[in-house]
Structure 1
């Protein structure tokens, strides 16, 4: 794995990641640092990303053979075998206890455990940056970034969205990707997970950049934007220094704003915190989240917002047995047991939400084993073509068994573009609605000097 000798004075580094921030932190902190050698990345959370190599074209001249990506499960043996000095945490949506369990494993194995600070890993843009991040996966970043983009466009400004990385294919080919039309999604062979984040922006006329090298991406985005909109993933920190940092908090998971990494850091750094889903939460939970946010960051402005759900064809759901498809990460490492699809199906009067667990095949069956909270709902696991086929096969099995009359899709994309079902497929769309209209617009105007 490494050609270094025991006399090598370089600091030997292992980066724990999930094909996103790990690559960014390497690019910013270590790629051109001759005093350090990154011996490997580890992989977790995202299926089938281990066993690859971070390619030489991205790793730079200090790594002519690239850097291996291995499974995180062998952490202790990897530390020993590669004589690792420092282990760097570079992925997100981890309970604080999980972070410290990882730290304890690393320390017991004889290495240092490091969590890089936000200031060391954020790049500064020549354009104003609006960042949208969250305390957990599945809080409502997607509809918020769309709403913010619309508000910025209403000021007569060109906005370009830069999406948190999701490089699940050829890393060198994905270094800097630009999406403007649905054809670009096909050309870049996008997975369901990627489409869920890019397609809504494209449909709204907003250009999206994503990939692996976020320095190169920033230079490209700046060339055609008046404002760069950072569209965060999971509950990760922004990659760019924000002029306005908007953080989403979730009253359906009260307490998580102070219990997950790096979501708590986002709250502490926020300029403005949006408590989303207020139309689905209790008054007590909303108040508890607001009090927690104000205790963590007394200087942040706090807005309460609703997350209304509408179905494209509610009549196709009323009185029918449905299977609900929800955004995958929301149900997996986001720990939720339902999303917008369930809300829409219930509001439309579905006679039953049918449990797909007995019909699950392949990767979906594995997902239920690992994330039992997802049972009862169909997570749109779409990290590759195999998982997309498993999703389609599971729905087909339910249709063939005669247990469902329709599918309700709570994902942000048109699933019919990537799979075929033989019953009506009804989209559940969700948006952001301010309870005190105008405050978000005012915050944007202040940040942008308008």
Structure 2
């Protein structure tokens, strides 16, 4: 959703930067203010896979990302360069800044979460706009449940529904293959999801089999499966440290499969050598109906 907002604003001729919520995995003094404009900056700041998953999709579209520790200093640096600052929050905080427009996302694949968790519910209650995404893959009754929950706690919010279509460079490469599906780690573990975009793509494009990666898991990946046994037949891309990245690489390359389907937000081949053929899965937000995000953003800018 943040990428969609950035795209609209750039289309209106505005300079945009995303400020990402804190991800304090390293030296906090060195991380006071971080600026990411190129993929090389990710290496310079020694980013984990989890950090890269948040920053890289913005870099893919030419949006500068700021992050770090001192969020006043970060804001002042961003304001020097751009017309509009986007607070790109995670699922465990709300905006550190007073916003002109607050957009929250509710996931119908996790119905009820929008009113069951802090601070997610806070974001829904404060939101000017609530986007219900993934309506092309969610059950109709779950979409209705989320819509009703949002209305119950924030009846004044504008609700936008959107599809989250998936894209694969070569869908035919998946057909008939025995595949390993790699998904965003936090989504599968503490995020409570059992599938992701990679699993959807493998099913949709005719994979012969989604191979269970657990027999091939090593080291910290084995430990992740023990801690989160419900993760099942999908490989979570854990990478909070160098050892996890190496164990993930070994697990992928040891798997007895024809193809790796990568559903992570980042290009894993930038941080490891994958020896097997692979296809990367991407998804974007496509709003359904009116008003859409462009209408709402134009109205905000014209105030």
TM-score when scaled to structure 1?
A: 0.66
Instruction: Note the C-alpha offset of 1:448.
Output: 2.2
Contact in 1 for aligned 2:134/2:164 (Cα 8 Å): yes
Aligned-pair CA distance for 1:438: 5.1
Q: Corresponding residue for 1:442?
A: 295
Is the CA contact 2:91–2:119 (under 8 Å) kept in the aligned structure 1?
A: no
Whole-angstrom distance in 1 between the partners of 2:222 and 2:277: 24
- 1:199 counterpart residue number: 56
2:201 is matched with 344
Classify the secondary structure of the residue corresponding to 2:26: coil
**1:281-320 pair list within 5 angstroms:** 281-320=138-177
CA distance in 2, matches of 1:214, 1:362: 36
Q: How does 1:229-248 map to 2 (within 5 A)?
A: 229-248=86-105
Q: Give the conservation status (yes or no) of the 8 Å contact 2:133–2:162.
A: yes
Q: What is residue 129 of structure 2 aligned with on the other side? A: 272
Q: Distance in 2 between matches of 1:412 and 1:154?
A: 23
- C-alpha distance after superposition, 1:177-228 (max 9, x if no partner): 0000111111111111111111111121111001111111011011111100
Q: Distance in 1 between matches of 2:92 and 2:105?
A: 9
Give the aligned partner of residue 414 of structure 1. Answer: 267
Give the corresponding residue for 1:208.
65
> 3-state SS of the aligned residue for 2:97?
coil
1:131 maps to which residue?
A: none
User: Pick from 211, 217, 235: which aligns with 1:360?
Assistant: 217
Q: Is the 8 Å Cα contact of residues 278 and 306 (structure 1) preserved in structure 2?
A: yes
Q: Is the 8 A contact 1:235 1:263 kept in 2?
A: yes
Return the alpha-carbon distance in structure 1 between the equivalents of residues 124 and 291 of structure 2.
22
Tell me if 1:385 matches 2:242.
yes
Looking at CA atoms only, which structure, 1 or 2, has the larger radius of gyration? 1
CA distance in 2 between partners of 1:449 and 1:213 (Å)? 31
Matched, 1:220 2:73: no
Residue aligned with 1:260, SS: coil
Unaligned runs of 5+ in 2: none
The TM-score with structure 2 as length reference comes to 0.97
Structure 1 segments unaligned to the other structure (5+ residues): 1-143
CA deviation profile, 1:89-115 (whole Å, cap 9, x unmatched): xxxxxxxxxxxxxxxxxxxxxxxxxxx
| 1:316–1:424 CA contact under 8 A, matched in 2 | no
RMSD across aligned C-alpha pairs, in angstroms?
1.1
| SS of aligned partner of 1:261 | coil
Q: Is the 8 Å Cα contact of residues 308 and 433 (structure 1) preserved in structure 2?
A: yes
- Point out which structure has higher relative CO (alpha carbons under 8 A, 6+ apart): 2
